[in-house]
Chain A
């Protein structure tokens, strides 16, 4: 008997260190999974930020531009050949450059947008004509990439986008402090462009703003109304069950299916304009409604019945009890849900591709029916562009988008913390 007890105790004792080892191993696996997930997030942010931060600076060239009286001897200011002004300035900066192909290479250093800058300046102040000015003009995106260290000058000449002579000119400009990186204002004030150095996110931001405004105006009232009906008035029957099942399912329908709905119904049946923030907002409304309804219902549910009963007890009608007492108390929770829904809508891309918001649009939209694009779609479009300079602009646009999303979520968290009431 003794020997048996001893041997089973031995067995347990022999196994116990093995079991503890397994316990430690299991625990480390769990911790590892958490750290790995967070590590992915860190990697994502690191990749975006390291690629994108440089886009907030843009290389500019200081040129002495002579607004030649002769060139302005035309009927309208718009007909002036501003490109010639820029070329002339470049030639006078590098008088030693001769030969057609060398000259062409020299002109390539400066952006095609420089001519527009001059045009704008003259349009604002026509007294410039005939004078000479030192002006900072945007450099070409290849020069910009070179300045940011993305072009390796040790590569053989034919594998580089800039040849040796061009690099020589750039070096001489740098030595004279005529080539510098400045804060990239264009990125925030311009619409889309095929030229990376002229492309900005203003058009996409305004488009996103219009789209979200339509979404908010429609989805918040409708969502709250639905939640109030389902939570406070609806009788328990098959119809309300059906509505509820529907809402839960809609919350999980792939977003692209909403895009198909928008294409087939809003564009083809109702003939609404393509690429318009109005249609985008309608589609996103349908998509965010379930989120808002579910959050609003939870918020209404958390208001204790005693509030309603007290209101009814002093003679309020049911509607009065709800509009005067329950809704104000539930409002912070509803707003939190709405902000989270809006954040989802802001980041959404796929359904908007379906309704044509993916077009190349240079102008900044001025109304909800103007063709426009939104920030995530702009990111998608830039990510498809082959130029190296668009990679950093894509990342920078992502940083702007993430900044908006994070601040929206922070507001939601703040609202919840500030106004949440425990009953």
Chain B
């Protein structure tokens, strides 16, 4: 039986268990009328209890097997190989495992296949077949056992509702820990691979090196083989593009927020705000295409008009489009904080004879400044982590330059180029992507924490 049918089948089975349990509880209730033993809970709860008892243990077995089936089966299949193939170097072993996986998945290998390996693959498939059947038997055996066990235990005094509610609450708690597990998963996955990278390349070389050329030699004697992994040009490119984006988005976003919250009438606001929110809802791949199709040629042509040589993948084009993308972040966050400034402060300023703009510039914005700074920091973290626009519109060449008309590269572009396609997880060339990811995660985390802290502190001040 294939694993995909198992789950619906189990669900159907538990529905059956639910109905049986409910029926039994109902019959107990009828009997109870004569004997005076009334049910503790409504009959449905008895059914639910049995249904849960039927599903949960079987589901645990299923999840466990799904997680570890592949590694167990691969190890078993490799165990059948002759001894000479058992103690190969880790590299060759990896290759072997890969071949085996390909054979199992039915992909045609380009090279001639070792008959021994083919046999092992056959073994794997046979074992998989057997294991799938065994899994089905074990799962339904368990389900049947637990369901009938709990069915036998149904008594009118049984506190079925309390049991069910406790189980539901446990499930709720498990769900809420997923957020923490995700964070832990992110940190661990990036950290482990980064540590493996730093075993090859010292941390200082990575953080302070000024040359980025993530190449690894295919052979040991290859000329120009050693790659250099200095992240400075990549970081410089990231900050330059984010800087351009912010210098577009902050003035535009802030001025729009000021206009919409202080000047515009209710009708204009009702129309303009959702339209500006659309800017945030457009997928980034669309912005990337727009940047490559419209903005980059425009920047290039206008540069040529002034006699400037503009690279076709200039930092300026990518930064401009990214700026457009983050306008709504800046404007909606600023809008919130501007609205939170108490009206009394404005009235005080008007009373002294200030015009509206003088009030805004001298009173409202200074009062809202912490919140605005928080919003800008959030927008900056968004810009630094943005991927598709820069992948499509910024370049790959790691230039350490301050000229926005040249091509630069960013952290996210490098992660994508290093990890798309085939990877080998023992080469610094692949592992460096995780080190960059770690860097990205830390930088954006700091920005977010600081920004959220500032925004929260600010809100408390006026509440």
Also in contact, A48 and B290, with CB within 8 A (given A253-B444, A293-B179): yes
Within 8 A of A (CB), among B51-107: 67, 70-71
Asked if A34 is at the interface (CB within 8 A of a chain B CB), the reply is yes
Q: Is B1 an interface residue (CB 8 A)?
A: no
B286 engages A257 (CB within 8 Å) = no
| Closest chain B residue to A262, Cβ basis | B189
Q: Which residue of B lies closest to A369 (CB)?
A: B4
B180 touching A243 by the CB < 8 A rule? yes
Asked if B358 contacts A225 (CB within 8 A), the reply is: no
Contact A380 B288 (CB under 8 A): yes
Q: List which A145-186 residues lie within 8 A (CB) of chain B.
A: none
Is A23 within 8 A of B281, CB to CB?
Answer: no
Closest to B68 in A: A270
Binds B, one of A105-113, A125-133, A244-252, A300-308: A244-252
Give the distance in Å from the alpha carbon of A402 to the alpha carbon of B386 in the complex: 19
- A117 located at the interface, meaning its Cβ lies under 8 Å from any Cβ of chain B in the complex: no
* Listed residue (A20, A234, A255) with the most chain B CB atoms within 10 angstroms of its CB: A255
Q: Is the beta-carbon distance between B357 and A22 smaller than 8 angstroms? A: yes
Q: Given contacts A37-B256, A254-B385, are A226 and B178 in contact (CB under 8 A)?
A: yes
- Residues of A38-63 at the interface with B, using a CB-CB cut-off of 8 Å, are 38, 40-41, 43-44, 47-48, 51
Q: Is the CB of A256 within 8 A of B357?
A: no
Minimum CB–CB distance for B432 against chain A, Å:
12
Q: How far is the CB of B196 from chain A (nearest CB, A)?
A: 11
Q: 0/1 per residue, B401-445, Cβ < 8 Å to A?
A: 000000000001001100110000100000001100100110011
List, in ascending order, chain A residues with CB within 8 A of B419's CB.
260, 263, 353-354
| Residues of chain B contacted by A27 (CB below 8 angstroms) | 259, 263, 356-357
Please, how many angstroms separate the alpha-carbon atoms of A220 and B433 in the complex? 32
Nearest-Cβ distance from residue B372 to partner chain A, whole angstroms: 15
B384 in contact with A254 (CB, 8 Å):
yes
Asked if B392 is at the interface (CB within 8 A of a chain A CB), the reply is yes
Q: Which of A68-76, A85-93, A134-142, A341-349 contacts B (4 or more CB under 8 A)?
A: A341-349
Which B residues lie within 8 Å of A331 (CB)? none
CB–CB A260/B293 < 8 A:
no
Q: Is there an interface contact between A252 and B378, defined as CB atoms closer than 8 Å?
A: yes
Q: Name A398's closest neighbour in chain B (CB-CB).
A: B286
Given B254, B293, B355, B448, which contacts A391 in the complex, CB threshold below 8 Å?
B293
- Is A99 among interface residues, defined by CB-CB distance under 8 A? no
Instruction: Say if the beta carbon of B327 comes within 8 Å of chain A.
Output: yes
- A247, chain B: closest CB distance, angstroms: 5
Chain B residue at minimum C-beta to C-beta distance from A401 = B283
Contact in complex: A44, B290 (CB < 8 Å): yes
Decide yes or no: A265 and B189 within 8 Å by CB, A26-B357, A260-B415, A260-B437 being known contacts: yes
CA distance A353 to B387 in the complex (A): 11
Contact yes or no, B193 A31, CB < 8 A: no
Q: Which of B173, B251, B386 has the most CB of A within 10 A?
A: B173
Are B355 and A249 touching (Cβ within 8 A)? no
Which partner residue on chain A sits nearest B272 by CB separation? A34
- B398 at the A/B interface (Cβ < 8 Å)? no
Assess the A383–B292 pair: CB atoms within 8 A. Answer: yes
B345: Cβ under 8 A from any A Cβ = no
- Return the contact of B385 from the options A256, A319, A343, A402 (Cβ within 8 A): A256
User: Across the A-B interface, how many residue pairs have beta carbons closer than 8 Å?
Assistant: 257
Q: Is B10 located at the chain interface by the 8 A CB criterion?
A: no
Max chain A C-beta neighbours (<10 A), residue from B189, B254, B433: B189
Does residue A189 face the partner (Cβ distance < 8 Å to B)?
no
Kindly identify, within residues 341 to 357 of chain B, every residue whose CB is under 8 Å from any CB belonging to chain A: 355-357
A84 at the interface (CB under 8 A from B): no
In the complex, the chain A residue whose C-beta lies closest to that of B273 is A34
Q: A250 near B324 (CB under 8 angstroms)?
A: no
Q: Are B281 and A225 in contact (CB under 8 A)?
A: no
Given contacts A243-B179, A264-B189, contact A225 B412 (CB under 8 A): no
- A249→B276 contact, CB < 8 A: no
Q: Is the CB of A246 within 8 A of B183?
A: yes
**Number of A residues with CB within 8 Å of any CB on chain B:** 84
Q: Does B126 contact A (CB under 8 A)?
A: no
- A228 to B4 Cα, complex, angstroms: 30
Contact B415 A265 (CB under 8 A): no
- Residue contact B294 to A254, C-beta cutoff 8 Å: no
Contact A19 B193 (CB under 8 A): no
Are A250 and B182 interface neighbours, CB within 8 A?
Answer: yes
Are the C-beta atoms of A30 and B259 separated by less than 8 Å? Answer: yes
The docked-state distance in angstroms from the alpha carbon of A307 to that of B357 is 46
A395 to B288, CA, bound (A): 12
Cβ-based interface call for A116 (8 A): no
Contact B190 A246 (CB under 8 A): no
**A271 adjacent to B386 (CB under 8 Å):** no
Question: A33-B259, A34-B272 known; A225 and B179 CB under 8 Å?
Answer: no
A254 in contact with B190 given A22-B357, A261-B185, A402-B286 (CB within 8 Å): no
Whether A226 contacts B175 by the Cβ 8 Å rule is yes
- Indicate with 1 or 0, residue by residue over A249-287, a CB within 8 angstroms of chain B CB atoms: 110111111101101110010110000000000000010
Whole-angstrom distance between the Cβ of B227 and the nearest chain A Cβ: 20
For A318, list chain B residues within 8 Å (CB): 165
A136 and B4 alpha carbons, distance in the complex (Å): 43
A353 to B414 CA separation, bound complex (whole angstroms): 13
Given contacts A226-B179, A249-B445, A249-B448, contact A349 B283 (CB under 8 A): yes
Question: In the complex, which residues of chain A have a beta carbon less than 8 angstroms from the beta carbon of B218?
Answer: none
| Whole-angstrom distance between the Cβ of B278 and the nearest chain A Cβ | 6
On chain A, the residues within 8 Å of B292 by CB distance are: 383
Contact: B178 with A289, CB < 8 Å? yes
Known contacts A26-B360, A233-B169, A256-B415; is-contact A40 B186 (Cβ 8 Å): no
Q: Enumerate B319-349 residues with CB–CB distance to A below 8 Å.
A: 324, 327-328, 331
The verdict on B138 contacting chain A, using a C-beta distance below 8 Å, is no
Would you call A222 and B182 a contact (CB within 8 A)? no
Q: Complex formed: what's the CA distance from A253 to B445 in Å?
A: 7
- B387 in contact with A350 (CB, 8 Å): yes
- Given known A-B contacts A34-B259, A47-B293, A20 and B165 have beta carbons under 8 A apart: no
Closest chain B residue to A42, Cβ basis: B275
**A383/B392 contact (C-beta < 8 A), A226-B175, A252-B448 known:** yes
Interface string of B174-205 (1 = CB under 8 A from A): 01111110110110011011000000000000
Q: Once the chains bind, are B179 and A271 in contact (CB under 8 Å)? A: no
Give bound CA distance, A279 to B444, whole Å: 25
Q: B388 within 8 Å of A by Cβ?
A: yes
Contacting residues, chain B, for A225 (C-beta < 8 A): 171-172, 175-176
Least distance between B85 CB and chain A CB atoms (Å): 21
Using Cβ atoms and an 8 Å threshold, which residues of chain A touch B433? 260
Query: Which of B262, B420, B437 is the one whose CB lies under 8 Å from A257?
Result: B437
B449 sits at the interface (CB 8 A): yes
Bitwise interface map of A from 212 to 232 toward B, beta carbon under 8 Å scored 1, else 0: 000000000110011011100
19 residue pairs of the A-B complex, CB under 8 angstroms, read: A27-B259, A34-B259, A34-B264, A37-B256, A37-B327, A226-B176, A246-B179, A246-B182, A247-B179, A253-B385, A253-B448, A255-B387, A260-B434, A261-B185, A271-B71, A286-B178, A349-B283, A350-B412, A376-B283
Listed from nearest, the 8 A-B pairs whose CB atoms lie closest are A254-B385, A30-B259, A347-B283, A264-B189, A33-B255, A26-B357, A350-B387, A225-B175
Additional 18 contacts, C-beta under 8 A, given A250-B179, A256-B385, A354-B416: A22-B355, A27-B357, A30-B255, A37-B256, A41-B279, A48-B289, A226-B178, A233-B172, A242-B180, A254-B444, A256-B412, A256-B437, A261-B182, A261-B189, A271-B71, A347-B286, A350-B284, A402-B286
